[in-house]
Amino acid sequence: MKLLITGGAGFIGSNLAELAMSRDHSVTVVDNLVTGHRENLEGLDVDFHEMSVTETDRLEAVMAGHHSVVHLAALGSVPRSINAPFPTHETNATGTLSVLEAARAAGVSHVMVSGSSSVYGSNPALPKGEREWVRPMSPYAVTKLASEQYVLAYQNSYGMDTLAFRFFNVFGPRQRAGHAYAAVIPIFLDALLRGMALPVNGDGTNSRDFTYVGTVCRVLLDAAERRVTHPEPVNLAFGTNTNLNQLVTLMSEVTGIAAEVEYRDPRPGDVRHSQADNSSLTALFPGVAPTTLQTGLEETLTWFRSLETYDATANSKENQP
């Protein structure tokens, strides 16, 4: 199979590329390296193209002859979108339209997109099913809603085999800390290993359905291999519900380092609680088995420790619970 991954030098994309190549698939990666990292693909014999997904004509030429497209390229982060909504819209919404048009022109009929649980927004329902009403609370969430709906519209308008996933707080190796828009798990791990306080926005009761990247990639690759399509969005998560205070406790157990917490003001646009109804996912992918949060954290910690050199005092016995 020839698989094209947009955003393939990113956290999820590079893990997917590695998994696909381990199964003897041919992988093409498109990434402009704005948030991706070329070193994520070290040791992988991918066909790499440094370009934006908004370059439709170039994308069409690269895309020709592929079996499936996994569209992961995006500008993530709710705060980033609030600070600068136009770049987020251009990459996420316009970029998705560009990918679909390039695929249509190149004769590639199977396209998947990484949507987001953020589209549920202010809907308080738990767990959240795909037919629940959506009410985005940030420009980022609006762009992800537009992205998934474009994919589903192309299924209806042009007969393309498409699949729109809604990701829920994916984490794992290659998800980096050290930048303004880092996700919560790498921020917490980095702070613990450096002996610093963990920054918690709000009172720590906000909850998430954390999903390990390895599980996500297994689902994505299975969907590409079988050319799975579905007329509605599909939650890609497993119905867990962990609040930030619980996450801090578990991270302390996994790392063996006592955590100090710094509570901060809540951030605008943040969803209070997130938990997936995964009945559609399990119907489409009955063989999928999720990685537990603890196991995922342990594997993520191993990657962090291989990447960074931390102050030895962060691991001293005085800091252990």
Dihedral pair phi/psi, residue 308, rounded to 5°: -115, 155
| Residue 305 within any structural domain of the chain | yes
Res. 310: pLDDT tops 60: no
Residues 79 and 194 in one domain: no
Cα-based distances in Å from 319 to 97, 152, 253, 296, 315: 50, 51, 12, 23, 7
What CATH code is carried by the domain that includes residue 48?
A: 3.40.50.720
Residues 149 and 220 in one domain: yes
In whole angstroms, give the CA distance from residue 167 to residue 153: 19
Residues 6+ apart with CB under 8 A from 283: none
| Residue 179 within any structural domain of the chain | no
Residues 167 and 225 in one domain: yes
What band does 321 get if pLDDT is binned at 50, 70 and 90? Answer: very low
| Residue 176 within any structural domain of the chain | no
Among residues 121, 233, 95, 74, which one has the least CA distance to residue 166? 233
Residue range 63-80, pLDDT digits in tens: 999 999 999 999 988 889
| Residue 134 within any structural domain of the chain | yes
User: Distance between alpha carbon 230 and the CA centroid of its chain, in Å?
Assistant: 20
| Residue 178 within any structural domain of the chain | no
Residues 68 and 86 in one domain: yes
Token pair of 279 as six digits = 């009945």
pLDDT of residue 311: 44
Q: Are 8 and 25 in contact (CB under 8 A)?
A: no
Prediction pTM value? 0.92
Residues 216 and 259 in one domain: no
Q: Rounded to 5 degrees, what angle do the CA atoms 117, 119, 122 make?
A: 100
| Residue 97 within any structural domain of the chain | yes
Type of residue at 44: L
Residues 25 and 130 in one domain: yes
Token pair of 270 as six digits = 């943040």
Q: Are 167 and 115 in contact (CB under 8 A)?
A: yes
What CATH code is carried by the domain that includes residue 278?
A: 3.90.25.10
In whole angstroms, give the CA distance from residue 176 to residue 214: 16
Average pLDDT for the chain: 92
The residue count of the chain comes to 321
Type of residue at 113: V
Q: Given 199, 221, 236, which residue is the final one in a domain?
A: 236
Residues 263 and 296 in one domain: yes
Q: Which domain holds residue 36?
A: 2-171+212-236
The residue assigned the tokens 């995006």 is 74
Residues 56 and 104 in one domain: yes
Q: Are 252 and 315 in contact (CB under 8 A)?
A: no
**H or E stretch covering 295:** helix 293-307
Structurally, how many domains does the chain consist of? Answer: 2
Q: Are 130 and 115 in contact (CB under 8 A)?
A: no
Residue range 11-53, pLDDT digits in tens: 999 999 999 999 999 999 999 999 999 999 999 999 999 999 9
Type of residue at 285: F
Residues 9 and 104 in one domain: yes
| Residue 54 within any structural domain of the chain | yes
Percentage of the chain with pLDDT > 70?
Answer: 95
Q: Given 236, 251, 280, which residue is the final one in a domain?
A: 236
Residues 230 and 302 in one domain: no
Residues 86 and 225 in one domain: yes
CB atoms within 10 A of CB 50: 12
Residues 151 and 251 in one domain: no
In whole angstroms, give the CA distance from residue 173 to residue 186: 9
pLDDT of residue 313: 39
In whole angstroms, give the CA distance from residue 217 to residue 72: 11
| Residue 249 within any structural domain of the chain | yes
Among residues 298, 306, 274, which one has the least CA distance to residue 125? 274
User: What does DSSP assign to residue 276?
Assistant: B
Residue range 127-172, pLDDT digits in tens: 999 999 999 999 999 999 999 999 999 999 999 999 999 999 999 9
Token pair of 55 as six digits = 């370059």
pLDDT of residue 187: 93
